[in-house]
Chains A and B, each alone.
Chain A
């Protein structure tokens, strides 16, 4: 772990010292992730990814990691004849399936509220649009419930995690992806903040994908679902008959 950290720091230092060639790197900021592909294999129980980089001159860093946007249905239960039944629902589109946030100092001391909102920093500033006509009073409740449930599932971070500076220019932070992390294309937005506004920003791509036999099974189940069903039945029949024969002899 320490060895890897040192290697990463060396790389970060090299990046920082190297002449900037433009391209992906924004002015005054270089950032990257320890890997760009998180593989969900059969033994996957969640994983950490190191985010690191260097700034040109003094300042602070805010990092936002977003998962692919999805459409989410939020349902509300009400009590009818003594039992709890889903009786209201609201659909939100473009909901980030994952949202993680880190900052080197409390965000309210770094940025003006207007910029915090403009850059969508913090779950309360997410632009969650409800589909269709909705009651304004209901909206707040459903919106809060969406965020609350995402936090409960470990997919949303409300309180910013730490971004640590090593010296004045090198920074690092560790993002955690839990076992139930949605797959797809993620974006890591790194903001370099100076004097109350975003001086520069950089986006690092990150992909979370199922790899290996589990992924093959998933793809097969969706691509050739009829054949998958038949194979599932065949496996169950064979296993059942096999067990019946074995235990008869025993």
Chain B
């Protein structure tokens, strides 16, 4: 098995491609979240759309964290700098973004599952009600 080593130029090209991908994903998901929340406010499946929007915004936060990591790594490399208080500040923000995004995705999933469970519960109750004998 051969191991290929990346040159700095290849690494930066790779990082730039990742940055473009995360930026496009971020914009698409944020647009989707805005549209879905407006649809929810208009009264179209508000609970389900809120859960989907929460998941989408969680992914957006994760993408933003990745994007900041890539950009800040590039800046640090260009400057040849050692860690400083400003780097610590941005690092804390990145951690908060990742944690917030992860928590949002998990909570959105839980909300969607709860909505589905409630819908299933209601529909099964309706089914039982429909099948029940009339004189009972």
Partners in one complex: no
Q: Which residues of A contact B (CB under 8 A)?
A: none
